[in-house]
Amino acid sequence: MGKVQDETAVAKAVAVGDSEQQAVAASGEKGKTSSLHAQYSEWIGYVSLCFLLGNVGLQVFSHLGMSMAILSNVNVNGESTKLLSGVEFCSSNDTIFSDWWVAAGSSSVYEDIIDCADDYILADEGKEFSDLETCLRAEAIGYQGGEECILCYQDYVNCASASSEEGGCLNSCFAAAVFGGADEYAKCVACTVEKCNPNFEVCIGYSMPDPPDEFDVRRALRDGRTLRSTEGARKLASDPPEQLYVVYEISFIKSIKDAWDSGAYGVAILLTLLSGVWPYAKNLIMLVAWFVPMTTARRSTVLKVLTRLAKWSLLDVFVVVIMLAGFRIDLQGDVIGRIYVVAESRLAIYTFCLAAIWDLVQGEWMRTMHLAMAESEPDCDPVSSVEGSCLLTSATFGASATTCGSCARVTHFLLSLVQLALLICGCFLPCATFALYGNAFGLFFNNEPGEYAEYSAFEIGTAIVAPERIDSVHSVGGTFFLAIIFLLCSIFVPAIVFSGMAKALHLQPCGPFAPRASLLKALASFCDIVGGFAALDVFLLSVVVTMLEWDRFVNSAMSTLTDKFIGCEEPCLESRSDVQYAVYLMLGAVLIGWILELFFTYVFAQIYHPAEQTFWGPFLFNRLASCIAK
């Protein structure tokens, strides 16, 4: 009788011209096939198709464009064949400055610098740098320099005229100017040598000779006048150069080629699959899941697996973020001058990151639409309420409908605590180090070889937007975008999701004090959806890939720089990277997280979305039922 009524309902739906989705919904037959496009309005499907095509366009652009560039204050494409002396190229070589020093007389040079800078600083706001330069050229025989060099002399005088509270020498030098005693003079000179000379030497690229025996500081501070200081004292030793040049550019295709040519076949294949093939495959899978008819169970499995694996395309994004954090070189030498090298992200990695997040969002949206359709069918009977019970005790396992025993619940809860502890420690303890070595140390640079930078996962995300980094790049907005996505997906989202799952499964009060079932479902649904964005495991893999590829990518750029401008024996200058113990803590958190997520996915689907019980759930938990019951 029921079958006749069903067939009658279908016939009526077709007879009155209803759509295909009405006819299919009326049938209620198990195992029927239908497409989401047939169940929803056509315009929703076409908008979804446009989004999929747009995502593919972003992926193509990302794979063809530049993801990152290595920048330096040295122009490797210029005509120069060696480094000029001076960080800001104030002098064309060391001898010009020293010749000027000898020809003019050391005492005269000190006075010339102060006098010219004094006139400039006390002048009107409209005074040009060229006026100070003209003064120096007229007063000092043989002076060589340009507009950039004027700041060096200006800051030297600002330092001498600033108060001790501001890090200057006004207190000592003012006493010398007023009293003119040998002790006061000695204190003034000692102060300027200690506080003013270091930054001045960094700026001009030349080590200052010893000060003269006599120095008329009255001319610097005549009549007791205090020189007007500029807005803050510039820290020249750490400021990035104003002009940076491209040394080496990295694209997705180039990175794979370099990895393959260097023999890192595993890394090349991994990048090709996860960041090359998989992004396009995700869009193709979503296209099929929306437009191709299939059973509810099959579409549930396809979309669930898709949303759990979609995050792995973020691998390339995380690799770039780690390289941005680890690659910053700032070396100073008496002869070579300063070498400043930094990594900068480019447009292609921003569009790739956007496309990856876009995929995750659209996949979760499509899965939500599928579940809404599936659970509207008459034969779908989700558990409507778990009032008075915890999720873990509400679920059954195995063919015999075994419930979770107290021993299993305690074990599961302890695993959740261990996982959270490993996650927190792993994200805030050192996970990677980057150091510089080579024959250039001791020959050209004052820095010690082996000096290293140490980063935790959290510090990697914050380091790329630190002031000393962000001031030297042009892509400020894009860099902040990468930092936010990295910190959210690798640290904060996993911590929130793991805590939420533990609360939903264990810490939910039972009995008369249990909250409404709707709140419990909202928490579990939040963890289920947002869990697709938790990418701690992707970050862990990206650390491994970066460490394997670091020598090839970074040292290729370094060799381009050193071969042309330094020319010492190999290895002249190279960077090395290494993993630290926090990586192993995060590995433990990831492995435990996978186990706990299997439990959560099984329980969540059984209680709220029976249509989404994947094929591996019953198979796995049938075998574990006897153990879980203990």
Regarding whether 116 and 251 lie in a shared domain, the answer is: no
**Domain edge (last residue) among 177, 198, 224:** 224
Ranges in the chain, pLDDT < 50? 1-30, 79-89, 91-95, 106, 118, 120-130, 140-142, 147, 178, 214-238, 335, 383-385, 387-388, 510-513
Check residue 464 and give its pLDDT.
Answer: 93
Check residue 275 and give its pLDDT.
Answer: 92
Regarding whether 529 and 394 lie in a shared domain, the answer is: yes
Regarding whether 136 and 270 lie in a shared domain, the answer is: no
Residue 82 in any domain: the answer is: no
Regarding whether 497 and 435 lie in a shared domain, the answer is: yes
**Domain edge (last residue) among 190, 224, 258:** 224
Q: Measure the CA–CA gap between 73 and 339, rounded to whole angstroms.
A: 7
- C-alpha to C-alpha distances, 560 to 52, 340, 466, 563, 574, nearest whole angstrom: 41, 14, 27, 6, 11
Residues 62-79 as b or e (16 or more Cβ within 10 Å = b): bbebbbbbbbbbbebeee
Regarding whether 391 and 278 lie in a shared domain, the answer is: yes
Q: Encoding tokens for residue 138? A: 């007229």
pLDDT in tens, 113-152: 555 554 544 444 444 444 555 665 555 444 555 545 556 6
Residue 200 in any domain: the answer is: yes
Number of domains in the chain: 2
DSSP structural state of residue 313: G
For residue 352, the enclosing domain spans 33-77+242-628
pLDDT in tens, 321-343: 999 998 888 876 654 556 788 88
Check residue 167 and give its pLDDT.
Answer: 65
Q: Are 615 and 403 in contact (CB under 8 A)?
A: no
Regarding whether 258 and 175 lie in a shared domain, the answer is: no
Regarding whether 358 and 210 lie in a shared domain, the answer is: no
For 464, left (φ over 0), alpha (ψ -120 to 50), or beta? alpha
Residue-by-residue DSSP string for 423-440: HHHHHHSEEEEEEEESTT
**Domain edge (last residue) among 158, 190, 224:** 224
Regarding whether 101 and 65 lie in a shared domain, the answer is: no
Check residue 317 and give its pLDDT.
Answer: 95
Residue 189 in any domain: the answer is: yes
Beta partners for 68? Answer: 250, 345
Beta strands in 216-319 (DSSP E): 245-251, 294-295
Regarding whether 509 and 434 lie in a shared domain, the answer is: yes
Q: Dihedral, CA atoms, 353, 358, 359, 364, nearest 10 degrees?
A: 140
Regarding whether 257 and 128 lie in a shared domain, the answer is: no
End-to-end CA distance of the chain: 46
Q: Measure the CA–CA gap between 345 and 253, rounded to whole angstroms.
A: 16
Residue 524 in any domain: the answer is: yes
Check residue 460 and give its pLDDT.
Answer: 95
Residue 165 in any domain: the answer is: yes
Regarding whether 622 and 590 lie in a shared domain, the answer is: yes
Helix (H, G, I), strand (E, B) or coil at 238: coil
Residue 1 in any domain: the answer is: no
DSSP structural state of residue 226: P
Regarding whether 275 and 203 lie in a shared domain, the answer is: no
Does this model's pTM top 0.75? My answer is no
Residue 3 in any domain: the answer is: no
Q: Encoding tokens for residue 38? A: 């047939």
Residue 597 in any domain: the answer is: yes
